[in-house]
Every structure is written in structure tokens, then in C-alpha cells.
Amino acid sequence: MGSFFLYLIMTNSKPIGLFDSGIGGSSIWSAIHELMPNEDTIYLADSKNAPYGKKSKEEIVALSEKNTEFLLNQNAKIIVVACNTATTNAIKELRAKYDVPFIGIEPAIKPAALHSKTQKIGILATKGTINSELFNKAVEIYHDTTIIEQIGYNLVELIEAGEINSPEMKQLLHSYLQPMIDENIDYLVLGCSHYPYLMPQIREILPPHIKIIDSGEAVARQTQNILREKVGFNAADHKSTNIFYINANPNVLADILEHRYPIEQRDF
């Protein structure tokens, strides 16, 4: 009887809301959708304002609030900040202002530092993430590990433009990763939700013994935990609806999603 009662309380048919500065956070959406396929989702790609990584903290907080309010107006039961730059610069402010649970995404320094045998790891992230207080506090915890930080200048812009396979992309990646290889890293942390879309290109450059970590699965598991503990899941037999909004040209996002989901272009 008790567990039946608990089940009733914890059922919640509202959607999971996610936002990113653009299309990259769809890598996080994929991990969440794979783990919880019957949850409804609303994904917001703020591509018009990408990249966030070059903006000031104040600008990133204002954009994150705008996105949060859009998702709350769509009845989101939880908000996944599917952007490292927005998380590391704005999640504290979002949690203080809105009465909804937030899940953030941060570069996965911890598993890389704990498993590294060379005690050297590389991190590729945006300028906004690498300069943030939250990121630097996380780095300080692992002072026994040498952490080679590299700003991924121009990578988000090229991905947003659909230039994932361009010679310029390959040349940039090479210039960012070769110094890390030379330093003998054995883990590379992808600290931006756009970067998992570069996995084949990065894999081609890195020697096979260097492992690549991104945060998608960890964020999906954390979202599942909070739904279980505090928010509630949709019914187990529910067939999910997945809505994507973008405020710029939808073509690259459509390609990434393999044209399997409708995308609405809307100004927000």
C-alpha cells in the first residue's frame, strides 16, 4: 500500500526542459532520451546567441534566465542546463531565482583525474568555462594531477555552421590536441556539450591509449536520480513527445537529429 501511494505521488507527466547556447546540448538530450525514452522533452537551442563562451558572466546569466523562463512557460518539471558555459557561469544564480530543480553539466575532471596513470589530463572547453570560478574550484581539488587546459577557440562556431568535417576544423583540433599528446596525457575531457560531435575527428588525432570522456551519461543518470527522488517520472507506458526549438537556421540541428524529430524555428 505504502509503495503504491509513493508511486502515485511520484508520477509527473510534465516535460524535461533542456537548453544550450545552440545545437551541442542535443548530445546531452540524446543521453537523457536514451536512458528515459518515455519522458517528454523540450530542447531549446539558443543558436542566435552562440557562442556563449565569448560572453561576460552577466550576459550568460541573462541569457540563461531567458531560456529558463521560456522552458518554465512550457511547464518544464526540471531544467537541464545542457551547456558547460552556462552551468559554470550561471547555475548558482538560476538556482537562487527559480523554484525548479536544475541539473548542470561540468567538465568531467573527477573521473579523468582519478583514473589517470600519467597524472596528466587534458581539458578542451570554451573560454567562458575555463575562466569561470566554478571550473577553477574544481581544478584546485585535483592539484596532484597536471591539468592541461585548452580553449577550443572557434570550435562551437564551426559546429553551429555545420563545418564539422572541414579542413579548418581538423587543423584547429590538431593544434589544440598535439601539445597535450606531447605532454603525455592519458585522458582528454570534453568540457563543452558541442564537442562530442567531434569525436571521430578527435579520435583520428589522438593515439588510441588516450581515453576521451564527456559528461552526457553522467548528466542523464543525475537527471534520472532527481526525477526518482524529487520530481517524478512520466508513466512507464507513455510514448514520449520530443520538441526542439531553435532561434536560427534549423538545418544543422535537423541533420544531427537525422531528421527524426520536428524542429520549430522561433524567436526567443
Catalytic positions, written as ranges: 83, 192
Q: How far apart are CA 128 and CA 228, in angstroms?
A: 32
Q: How far apart are CA 91 and CA 68, in angstroms?
A: 11
CB of 144 to ligand DGL, least distance (A): 26
Nearer to ligand DGL, 55 or 77 (CB): 55
CB of 87 to ligand DGL, least distance (A): 8
- The site for ligand DGL (CB under 6 A) is made up of 20-22, 24-25, 50-53, 83-85, 126, 129, 156, 192-194
Nearer to ligand DGL, 77 or 194 (CB): 194
CB of 171 to ligand DGL, least distance (A): 20
Nearer to ligand DGL, 28 or 227 (CB): 28
Nearer to ligand DGL, 156 or 198 (CB): 156
Residue with the closest Cβ to ligand DGL?
53
Own/partner long-range contacts of 167-172 (Cβ < 8 Å, ≥24 apart) = 169/198, 169/201, 170/201, 170/205
Q: How far apart are CA 122 and CA 191, in angstroms?
A: 10
Q: Where are the alpha helices (DSSP H) in the chain?
A: 2-10, 26-35, 57-73, 84-97, 109-115, 127-130, 133-141, 155-160, 167-182, 199-205, 216-226, 251-256
CB of 115 to ligand DGL, least distance (A): 22
